[in-house]
């Protein structure tokens, strides 16, 4: 018996040693994540020589405080090299509101707008940061909507193509009673020089009692996914396709097929919608949301539903038959004829902080996730759940979810998991030990079977300086090299991870 025990111990130690050798980690020094310029870091532009981080922060503590943007360049070891900062535009002493930040080809695009009654216009602005020159452009006025009052000043939506060469801007003009929806759709190149503009009047009422999502493809074709009656039992999803001056509207949802979340892709010169759906969209269903019970692919170019398939029995069983609630399309990865539709459940709650004005605690809920492998004709290889669930408070949101990537035709996922779960034991003493997590690499074989490899040598801090790997803050440099970010309490650090 003693000999058997020693053999098992030797095997465990050997396996752990082998696991440790699967990845190397090179971490920068721990630093304070609450200092100005480093409060909300977002990693971009990975290269062999380093990476860049931008952080959007409030100026002052007021609820409607204006924003300031900090951009810092780091070397390959995670050491900061230089920092610049700039503000959003101001007109008539009124600060612009940040709409969207888009990462282009070695450039960052900051879109904002400000509506002022005094001069009767709502202006869409853009500022471009060039990562090569480390400079920010002068403010660009992309579009102006004439207005009569600020609370009816129209809306802007912005999107970029997958090749990062084309931008689309959707302009929803101010609401006018008893009229149809009038929009402007513009496309721009990577320098924000206008390529096209069309001004269609749609068949929908001009009330903005719906949700619109904008997509633009590499060929310059614009698709708008429109949702109506989202609070009713039978919501309607339509798609508007704009090619030059040609505008085509088609209704996608049907009885028993209600789209919850989706994205548009281009494949072999055709456009498709992929996403998740339910057959019962009544909002009161189960815990405040509709259960997503299927995934689908829809051919926009042919106006045809290719496949709407319910979850496999094994998937339903592994998520305890509760279905997926608040399921979002996290990513769509394409590898030759294989398409990976990747989803993650996400919801957010807020609660006012007692005794403070306009200050809230935000709870971010993630999981479970889902990985679906299929082809463009709707032939499904597998749908596999990632059965996890985590809640994160406020700035720790970046720890949630996971990071999928392809390598030599194989799907991998980076995530972090509690050591107590990985080691199949309960840890009850000490905050850091209870919450201690390790980076894990999940690999998927051809049938969707998952192998989970923990990296025990991924530790990023010690007692009272504990930091945890953030899977949503992972950047791939080469096939096996990644920049990573870790955060915890008031400390954070950057690192480089090298797979063997």
Q: What angle do CA 361, 362, 366 make, to 5 degrees?
A: 150
DSSP-assigned states of every residue in 399-457 = GSS-EEEEETTEEEEEEEEEHHHHTT----S-HHHHH-EEEEEEEE-TT--EEEEEEGG
Which residues does 218 contact at the CB level (< 8 Å), separation at least 6? 161, 162, 163, 165, 166, 266
A 10 A CB-CB count for 319 gives 19
Instruction: Tell me what pLDDT residue 355 has.
Output: 84
What is the residue-level pLDDT of the chain in tens, covering all 500 positions? Answer: 444 344 434 434 444 444 446 899 999 999 999 999 999 999 999 999 999 999 999 987 666 778 999 999 999 999 999 999 999 999 999 999 999 999 999 999 999 999 999 999 999 999 999 999 999 999 999 999 999 999 888 999 999 999 999 999 999 999 888 899 999 999 999 999 999 999 999 999 888 767 899 999 999 999 999 998 887 888 899 999 999 899 999 999 999 899 999 999 999 999 999 999 998 766 544 445 567 889 999 999 999 999 999 998 888 888 866 668 889 999 999 999 999 999 999 999 999 998 887 788 999 999 999 999 999 999 999 999 998 888 999 989 999 999 999 999 999 999 988 888 888 766 555 555 666 788 999 999 999 999 999 998 887 876 667 789 999 999 999 999 999 999 987 899 999 999 98
Q: Where are the domains of the chain?
A: 88-251, 252-401
116 vs 204: CA distance, rounded Å:
28
The answer to whether residues 252 and 298 touch, using CB atoms and an 8 Å cutoff, is yes
User: Phi and psi at residue 396, in whole multiples of 5°?
Assistant: -75, 5
Predicted local distance difference test score (pLDDT) of residue 423: 83
The number of helix segments (H) and strand segments (E) in the chain equals 4, 40
* CB of 493 closer than 8 Å to CB of 31: yes
Q: What is the pTM of this model?
A: 0.91
**pLDDT at 229 (0 to 100):** 85
Query: What is the model's pLDDT at position 316?
Result: 85
- The pLDDT of residue 21 is 64
The structure tokens listed for 84 are: 């610049």
Which tokens go with 86? 């700039």
Question: Do 400 and 392 contact (CB within 8 A), yes or no?
Answer: yes
First CA to last CA distance, the chain: 37
Q: Which SS3 state, helix, strand or coil, does residue 279 take?
A: coil
pLDDT of residue 103: 98
What pLDDT is recorded for position 211? 86
Spatial neighbors of 252 by CB under 8 A, at least 6 apart, are 237, 238, 239, 259, 273, 298, 305
Task: Name the fold adopted by 88-251.
Answer: Neuraminidase (2.120.10)
The DSSP-derived string for 293-320 is: -EEEEEETTTTEEEEEEEPPHHHHHHTT
pLDDT at residue number 286 = 46
For residue 340, CA distances in Å to 296, 306, 330, 384, 419 come to: 12, 16, 11, 11, 29
What's the pLDDT score for residue 496? 95
Look at residue 283 in the predicted model and tell me its pLDDT.
Answer: 56
């Amino acid at each position: 018996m003693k000999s058997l025990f020693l053999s098992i111990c030797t095997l465990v130690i050997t396996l752990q040693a082998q696991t440790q050798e699967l990845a190397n980690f090179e971490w920068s020094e721990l630093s304070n994540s609450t200092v100005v310029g480093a409060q909300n870091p977002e990693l971009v532009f990975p290269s062999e020589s380093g990476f860049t981080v931008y952080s959007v922060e409030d100026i002052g503590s007021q609820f409607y405080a204006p924003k300031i943007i900090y951009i810092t360049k780091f070397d390959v070891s995670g050491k900061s090299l230089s920092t610049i900062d700039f503000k959003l535009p101001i007109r008539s002493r009124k600060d612009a509101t940040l709409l969207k930040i888009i990462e282009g080809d070695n450039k960052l695009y900051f879109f904002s707008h400000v509506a002022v009654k005094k001069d009767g216009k709502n202006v869409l602005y853009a500022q471009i940061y060039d990562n090569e020159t480390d400079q920010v452009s002068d403010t660009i006025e992309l579009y102006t909507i004439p207005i009569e009052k600020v609370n009816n000043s129209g809306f802007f939506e912005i999107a970029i193509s997958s090749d990062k060469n084309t931008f689309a801007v959707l302009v929803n003009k101010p609401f006018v009673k008893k009229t149809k929806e009038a929009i402007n759709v513009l496309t721009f190149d990577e320098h924000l020089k206008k390529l096209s503009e069309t001004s269609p009047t749609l068949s929908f009422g001009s009330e903005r009692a719906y949700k619109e999502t904008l997509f633009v493809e590499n060929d310059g074709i614009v698709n708008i996914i429109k949702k109506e009656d989202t609070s009713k039992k039978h919501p309607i999803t339509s798609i508007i396709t704009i090619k030059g001056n040609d505008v085509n509207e088609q209704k996608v949802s049907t009885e028993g097929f209600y789209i919850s979340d989706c994205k548009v892709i281009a494949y072999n010169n055709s456009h498709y919608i992929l996403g998740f759906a339910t057959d019962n969209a009544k909002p009161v269903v189960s815990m405040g949301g509709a259960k997503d019970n299927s995934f689908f692919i829809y051919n926009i170019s042919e106006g045809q539903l290719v496949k709407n398939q319910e979850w496999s029995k094994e998937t339903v069983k592994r998520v305890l038959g509760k279905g997926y609630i608040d399921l979002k399309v996290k990513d769509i990865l394409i590898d030759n004829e294989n398409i990976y539709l990747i989803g993650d459940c996400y919801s957010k709650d807020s609660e006012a902080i007692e005794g403070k004005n306009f200050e809230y605690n935000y709870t971010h809920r993630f999981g479970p996730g889902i990985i679906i492998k299929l082809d463009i004709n709707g032939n499904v290889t597998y749908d596999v759940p990632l059965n996890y669930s985590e809640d994160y408070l406020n700035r720790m949101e970046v720890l949630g979810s996971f990071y999928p990537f392809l390598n030599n035709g194989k799907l991998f996922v980076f995530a972090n998991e509690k050591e107590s779960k990985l080691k199949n034991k309960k840890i009850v003493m000490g905050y850091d030990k209870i919450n201690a997590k390790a980076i894990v690499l999940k690999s998927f074989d051809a049938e969707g079977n998952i192998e989970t490899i923990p990296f025990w040598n991924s530790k990023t801090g010690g007692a009272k300086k504990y930091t945890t790997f953030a899977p949503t803050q992972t950047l791939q440099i080469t096939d096996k090299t990644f920049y990573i970010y870790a955060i915890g309490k008031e400390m954070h650090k950057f690192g480089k991870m090298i797979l063997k």
